[in-house]
Structure 1
Amino acid sequence: MTHHNLTIEAFVKLGDFLRTFCEFITSDNNSEHLNHKWTARFKTEIEMAQHYNGWFSEENCIHAFQEWGNLLTRENLEAWCENYNLTINKEKVVALIMAGNIPLVGFHDLLCVLVTGNKALVKLSSNDQKLIPLLIDYVKSIEPYFEGRVTFTKEKLEHYDAVIATGSNNTARYFKYYFGKKPHIIRKNRNSVAVLNGKESGEELTALGEDIFRYFGLGCRSVSKIFIPNDYNIDTFFKAMFPHNDIINHNKYANNYDYNKAVYLMSEFKILDNGFLILKEEKSYGSPIASLFYEHYNNSEELKAKLKLEEDNIQCIVSSGFIDNEIVFGQTQKPSLSDYADGIDTVNFLLRTS
């Protein structure tokens, strides 16, 4: 079998396992799986994840596994790979410097490296040291071909041919300095926004809560700002957010809510607050945890032009009938295999880098 076929077969099996595992862990009837060593190991790692990183709640880890389980089907993987001529790849070692803001956030880059027939030299974020190696250990257990294809290191990166690095705007400058001479993709901070027109149903707005609150708003695909018409009734929005109010029971989120609310009040900023989310009128995009920025707009064409100018700062636009490539309410954390961060085709980059 070619490396391409081996990769697809192995990741189809990983997808099967993740779907079965998530079904087992979210159901009451789990006794038949308890003796399965991989089920036990995954269960332990999910239970321990929150000890290593307080933001990696069990619910969010399971959600990340579930989404990858849904993506890793034969149909999805083959349809994705059919868009490329994978035979043109010249094998290389690709250094991956991963973020750790949400569970498994760097896994798509790693999959791209492997499906193109390259090797990965991975520097994990200190915030996500366990979950990606767990998936790779599973893949190695079912397909020996992957032994030696992925190396995790904490040392200085050496002997690599290309780099994909994800970080903040500050670390991006550092990455550019150190890795600029090699072929590279260097990603900075981005945020996602939603554009409301006042005609949204309650269901759509509640679904938008998933885009705002999933992973506590820590992802670049998390909505951190909404644009609303001048005459918008904000009570409609707050009412639709109410089903997500359990988030305030998470200790780290609640601490951030209390802190940011105190800072805003002491600074005498005008804020709106519903007990678990703070709304603040603001021009910028990156709202703090437990806060959501909002901005009024008069004219949708002017707003489109504004967002076009700001596109380097924006990952996703959630809306209904507002713009091409918009994302449906509630779907930002369900990207497809061909949804590339920052709109840069990672597979194409890897294939064309010799």
Structure 2
Amino acid sequence: MELQQRINAFSKLGAFLKQFSTEDFEQKNNIPHNELFFGGFKHQIKLAQEHNGWFTKTNIVYAIKGWCNSLTESKLNKWTLAYDFAGTNKKKVAIIMAGNIPLVGFHDFLSVLISGHAVLVKQSSNDKHLLPFLAKYLEHVEPEFKGKISFTEDKLENFDAVIATGSNNTARYFEYYFKNKPSIIRKNRNSVAVLTGNETKVELEQLSEDIFRYYGLGCRNVSKLFVPKNYNFNAFFEAIYKWHPIINEAKYANNYDYNKAVYLMSEFDMLENGFLMIKEDKSFASPIATVFYEYYDAKESLQSKLKNEAENIQCIVANNFTEEEIKFGNTQKPELWDYADNEDTIAFLLKL
């Protein structure tokens, strides 16, 4: 199968997904195999919601919208143009996926198949309904994918390389277990925002998207703020207020109540507005419904600190702070060429 065939298949998948990119699903007439797959995917979305309380329809649709925007022929061509796919040795690549947000492992799935390899997927039990159905759609629009996509719930066997995502603890297990295989092992990472106090209300409103989308469960969610000494949080709290309905969602509210009780019993200092707590803390990973903050003195010293902590950071949200920064409101809108942990997945796959 040629690269262009693979690009065409994924662009057709993008067009299929576009029907589900708003909460009022809209069936189109010009989508291949729609009569077989449209109703079925609606059902899989419903099953995903019922199986995982964090996977609300809003969040599933948001994830789907991101992928239908990326899976266009122009973006797929732009992405793949940077690589030489000629003479790729065809291998079977195992992927162990996380399940913190909907379709979180799709980029690895896409990367393996677009590179010409076969894929063996071990999904998280938290996110097991959407991807197998989309894989079936791919096999219908491009029959040469048949036999190249498999899923397992058992021990991984008969594979040549692995991409595994998990916690720091599971990463140590992965590193030992897969020590004789080419691998990408991803650990815990969090995202941070650097504030100066000069942000506009719009920028702070956009930052709230980086904090609250997917309830803060993604590695691209901002879980920590760096603020200058004597920073006034009033503007921040005013700007994020549009997210206050999130406290009406049971799983989020339960975490908010629990973490607030822990902080109060431990006599920790914190600020809260009824749906988010902020607490001064050196850590990067904050609990649900909490954002940590830390004061900084000088831009240069913070730049040095973040550089030294690069292995723990996925995204830096800021305005004219560092070359690698992401604009406010854009952490959950990565392009195909924005690789997790800054490790080029395609380059890894083409060396196999």
Instruction: Name the aligned partner's letter for residue 92 of structure 1.
Output: K
SS in 1 for 2:314: strand
Determine the structure 1 residue equivalent to 2:78: 79
TM-superposed deviation, 1:127: 0.7
Determine the structure 2 residue equivalent to 1:26: 24
Does the 8 Å CA contact 1:95/1:160 hold for their aligned counterparts?
yes
Determine the structure 2 residue equivalent to 1:263: 262
Question: More deviation in 337-346 or 128-137?
Answer: 128-137
User: Quick one: distance in 1 between partners of 2:28 and 2:132?
Assistant: 26
Determine the structure 2 residue equivalent to 1:329: 328
Determine the structure 2 residue equivalent to 1:303: 302
User: Quick one: distance in 2 between partners of 1:222 and 1:316?
Assistant: 8
Does the 8 Å CA contact 2:19/2:27 hold for their aligned counterparts?
no
Give percent identity, aligned residues only: 56
User: Quick one: distance in 2 between partners of 1:333 and 1:22?
Assistant: 15
> Matches of residues 162-241 of structure 1 in structure 2 within 5 Å?
162-241=161-240
SS in 1 for 2:227: strand
Determine the structure 2 residue equivalent to 1:91: 90
TM-superposed deviation, 1:30: 6.6
TM-superposed deviation, 1:118: 0.2
User: Quick one: distance in 2 between partners of 1:266 and 1:214?
Assistant: 29
Determine the structure 1 residue equivalent to 2:282: 283
Determine the structure 1 residue equivalent to 2:6: 7
TM-superposed deviation, 1:31: 10
Does the 8 Å CA contact 1:168/1:189 hold for their aligned counterparts?
yes
Does the 8 Å CA contact 1:224/1:286 hold for their aligned counterparts?
yes
SS in 2 for 1:7: helix
Instruction: Name the aligned partner's letter for residue 327 of structure 1.
Output: I
Does the 8 Å CA contact 1:88/1:351 hold for their aligned counterparts?
no
User: Quick one: distance in 2 between partners of 1:54 and 1:109?
Assistant: 24
Does the 8 Å CA contact 2:20/2:61 hold for their aligned counterparts?
no
TM-superposed deviation, 1:143: 1.3
**Cα 1:123–1:42 shift into 2, 3 Å:** same
TM-superposed deviation, 1:231: 2.4
Determine the structure 1 residue equivalent to 2:129: 130
User: Quick one: distance in 1 between partners of 2:110 and 2:93?
Assistant: 12
User: Quick one: distance in 1 between partners of 2:344 and 2:194?
Assistant: 26
Determine the structure 2 residue equivalent to 1:40: 39
TM-superposed deviation, 1:40: 1.4
User: Quick one: distance in 2 between partners of 1:21 and 1:267?
Assistant: 45
TM-superposed deviation, 1:325: 1.5
Does the 8 Å CA contact 2:91/2:159 hold for their aligned counterparts?
yes
**Cα 1:340–1:31 shift into 2, 3 Å:** closer
**Cα 1:10–1:289 shift into 2, 3 Å:** same
Note the alpha carbon deviations across 1:191-249, whole angstroms, 9 max, x for none: 00000011111111011111000111000001000011112110110100101111111
Aligned positions, number: 349
User: Quick one: distance in 1 between partners of 2:27 and 2:178?
Assistant: 47
**Cα 1:50–1:77 shift into 2, 3 Å:** same
SS in 2 for 1:287: coil
Instruction: Name the aligned partner's letter for residue 40 of structure 2.
Output: R
User: Quick one: distance in 2 between partners of 1:330 and 1:318?
Assistant: 8
Does the 8 Å CA contact 1:21/1:39 hold for their aligned counterparts?
no
Instruction: Name the aligned partner's letter for residue 165 of structure 1.
Output: A
SS in 2 for 1:286: coil
Confirm or deny that 1:117 pairs with 2:116: yes
Note the alpha carbon deviations across 1:75-115, whole angstroms, 9 max, x for none: 00001000000113100000100001000000000111001
TM-score, normalised relative to structure 2: 0.96
Unaligned runs of 5+ in 2: none
User: Quick one: distance in 2 between partners of 1:116 and 1:48?
Assistant: 31
User: Quick one: distance in 1 between partners of 2:220 and 2:15?
Assistant: 26
Instruction: Name the aligned partner's letter for residue 259 of structure 1.
Output: Y
Please give the root-mean-square deviation of Cα atoms over the aligned residues, in Å. Answer: 1.5
**Cα 1:31–1:313 shift into 2, 3 Å:** closer
